[in-house]
Amino acid sequence: MDTLTYEVKDHIAEITIQSPPANALSSTILQELNEILNELEAEKSLKAVILKGEGKFFSAGADIKEFTEFQGGKENMAFKGQAVFDRIEQFHAPFIAAIHGAALGGGLELALSCHMRFVTKSAKIGLPELSLGIIPGFGGTQRLPRYVGDAKAYEMILTAEPVSGEEAVAMGLANRAFEEEELMDAVRKIAASIASKSKPSIEHVLKLVPNVYESTLNHGLKDEASRFEEVFRTEDASEGVKAFIEKRKPVFQDK
């Protein structure tokens, strides 16, 4: 692949965007990311995915020059990007975005499709599309309000002004902020903590949390109760309870 690399180790995949100087999202990156998702779907033992950028940025936007070439053509880049990002959001293992430098425009929209976002304190986070006379097209207008609320989403999108990593944490857009040199160690530690859990439990949680946005509270509660009963019958649940009683760490078999 030309723009992305990935490796899988200890139930964790690590995807790296390598498209200098800005890791700007292009049709090539979207295509290769889609191909990687195809390959990772076959990794049945996978429990977490880290997404990061090489160089100075996570991803400082979309490839605007390429966008203008597609404008008016048969291929709609927005639909293409949204399809890939939807796959990330619905993936069977949680995606963790490790953001340094900047996540702007399409780069932030990519991060918004992940289940968690960890940032450096000085990172620039925003959707600057209106400064170019366009609007977000990879889901920014729909996902951003879920994390920061309508009023703040309007402010960020309409002013096109970025916020810092620390501000992103304060408004609920990012989980935690770290110093630049601490970010990857912290993210890998978090991914390892997730990977130590039972895979069936992880997968059920990934199905349940979206109910908050897609169904009524009553439906969500019924779905949770049903899935709780299903998980409670697994071998891992028996091991977890037994380990708790015996005051030891559980040894899950992902069954």
Q: Looking at 20-133, list the stretches that DSSP marks H as alpha helix, in order from N- to C-terminal side.
A: 27-41, 64-70, 77-89, 106-112
d(CA 107, CA 188): 21
- For residue 104, give the nearest of 203, 23, 221 by alpha carbon: 23
Among the listed residues 35, 109, 167, 180, the single catalytic one is 109
Among the listed residues 35, 129, 181, 239, the single catalytic one is 129
Helix (H, G, I), strand (E, B) or coil at 180: helix
Residue 75 bears catalytic tag = no
d(CA 253, CA 197): 10
d(CA 205, CA 252): 17
Residue 109 bears catalytic tag = yes
d(CA 6, CA 132): 33
Local structure of residue 25 (DSSP, 8 states)? B
> Is the sign of the CA dihedral 199, 182, 30, 60 positive or negative?
positive
Side-chain-side CA neighbours of 66 within 13 Å: the count stands at 15
> Which residue numbers are catalytic?
109, 129
